[in-house]
Structure 1
Amino acid sequence: MSRAETRTKLDLEKVIFIGRTFEEYMDMFLLAEEDLKGKKVLDCPSGACSFTAVGQSRGINITASDIAYDHSVENLEAKGQEDIQHAIAHMEKARSNYVWDYFEGINQLKEHRKKALFDWTQDMKKNSERYIPVNLPSLSFNDNEFDILLSAHFLFTYADRLDLQFHIDTLKELLRVTKEEVRIFPLVDLKGNRYEYLERIIQYLKDNGYSVNEVRVPYEFQKGANSMLKVSKSH
């Protein structure tokens, strides 16, 4: 095994490569397709989500971005399959941490995750230009390049390893590349606790001229993860 292959394997071990479906995104972010038609949308970070693949097929202009996209689609597909198995095994042991309304059970959840990964893989192979490697809190896009930015299961979720300054720096960057609004889901960490510095984040955003609303959404799988933060630019 070459040094490059060894590095890729080690780096990938640090990445959880699981995705949600287009339908999940629409519910997590309280969106209808009409809200996105004619808009330029960024999904960041997007992982193995099928939002870009399915959205593009429905005439929505979406770009996906993730630190994992530096790796080959073959390595990511294999990693995704492995991570689905690990995640399902964990959820079977901790079923009480989840609300089983959106998904009827473990098997349906597994099918959704596999479908998201399959759609992502097929689109990545055909349209790799839509999938941009990024390393937050820095983005390579221009100011106001996108109308709407969606960010799921990253900020607030990993509160145990991403400090407050990282959150602020990342939010500034997400807002820099966005013309209209940024939506973030969920507002709880991996333990299901509300992000401890959320009120400080909200106040910081308001102090810098943004309109901030906490919005209940029709999606709850992890207990307590049923609202998003909608940050709008007033100019």
Structure 2
Amino acid sequence: MSKTEQSRGNTKQELDRVVFIGRTFEEYAHMFDLKMPELAGKRVLDCPSGACSFTAHGLKEGLDITASDIAYDHKPDDLEVKGLQDIGHAMETMEQAKSNYVWDYYGDVEGLRRHREQALRDCVRDMREFPDRYVAAVLPELPFDNEQFHLVLSAHFLFMYSDRLDYDFHVQTVRELLRVASEEVRIFPLTDLSGSRYVHLERLIHELESEGCRVAEVKVPYEFMKNGNSLLSIRKI
């Protein structure tokens, strides 16, 4: 994901302030407990999507997916170079923090690197071919119509950066994701970067339920960061 300090001004951010790393389609299917038949005929938004290949592979499967991220104001060639640099740096730090993670899925750091590089290659290739599917935006504001999408997916951004994104930002962003969704928003994971549960999660759930949403924590068949094997499902009633 592009993990940059979100601002409410221009979409454009200096490229050196963007971390351009993503997940594969397969990883998304596990993280969000997605069943392909359930997605048929639905409009899906991935936000923020970074260097993920969910959109690229979803299009090949006939799915209607749009990706949105602050990074998409930059050229694909520049993002590819930046992404490879970021993956290299991330793998170096990962070697020193391996004990914080569960390696059943990737096997080892090199296995993780292969997934990250594959996601980046597929994403950038698709951006070049279908640029209209990749929409630049700065949360908590999105350039989409009310209920434009049936399902909105949001991975590795909200909750993870609670040390630099305050509660009001989280609430505003979740409401914006709900604004553009007609059915459901799914957020993964429910932990911060230390693997601890987001400290204000119960408060957020209570607030969403008071606004008429049906909220549930759902265990998923994926865990990389320890304790990070649940998503938040927020359904409109």
Per-residue deviation at 1:15? 1.4
Q: Equivalents in 1 of 2:182, 2:223: separation in Å?
A: 28
CA distance in structure 2 between the aligned counterparts of 1:220 and 1:53, rounded to whole angstroms: 23
Q: Which amino acid aligns with 2:121?
A: F
Q: Which residue of 2 aligns with 1:41?
A: 44
TM-score (structure 2 length as normaliser): 0.94
1:10–1:45 Cα change, 3 Å = closer
Residue 150 of structure 1 corresponds to which residue in structure 2? 153
Partner of 1:215: 218
Per-residue CA deviation, residues 12-42 of structure 1 (Å, 9 max, x unaligned), is 2221110000000000000111111110000
Please tell me the residue identity of whatever aligns with 2:43.
K
Letter in 2 for 1:56: L
Distance in 1 separating the partners of 2:98 and 2:169: 31
How do 1:173-212 and structure 2 match up within 5 A?
A: 173-212=176-215
Alignment match of 2:168 (pick from 158, 165, 168): 165
Match of 1:107?
110
Letter in 2 for 1:135: V
Distance 2:16 2:227 in 1: 28
1:142-199 CA-to-partner distances (Å, cap 9, x unmatched) read: 0000000000000001111110000000011000000000000000001111100000
| Segments of 4+ moved more than 6 angstroms | none
Query: Matches of 2:13 and 2:150 in 1, distance apart?
Result: 36
**Aligned position for 2:87:** 84
Shift of 1:11: 1.6
Report deviation, 1:10: 7.4
SS at match of 2:14: helix
| TM-score of the pair, normalised by structure 1 | 0.95
1:211 Cα shift? 0.1
* Seq. identity, %: 57
Opposite residue 89 of structure 1, the aligned amino acid is E
Distance 1:10 1:29, change over 3 A: closer
Q: Does the aligned pair in 1 maintain the 2:13–2:71 contact within 8 Å?
A: no
Question: 2-side partners of 1:42 and 1:15: how far apart?
Answer: 21
What is the one-letter code of the residue matched to 2:155? Answer: A
What does 1:12-51 correspond to in 2, within 5 Å? 12-51=15-54
Change (3 A) 1:201 1:105: same
Residue in structure 2 matched with residue 55 of structure 1 by the alignment:
58
**Gap regions ≥5 residues in structure 1:** 1-8
CA distance in 1, matches of 2:16, 2:162: 20
The alignment partner of 1:42 has SS state of strand
Residue 144 of structure 2 corresponds to residue 141 of structure 1: yes
The one-character-per-residue Cα deviations of 1:83-120 (angstroms, maximum 9, x if unpaired) are 00011111111110110101111111111100000000
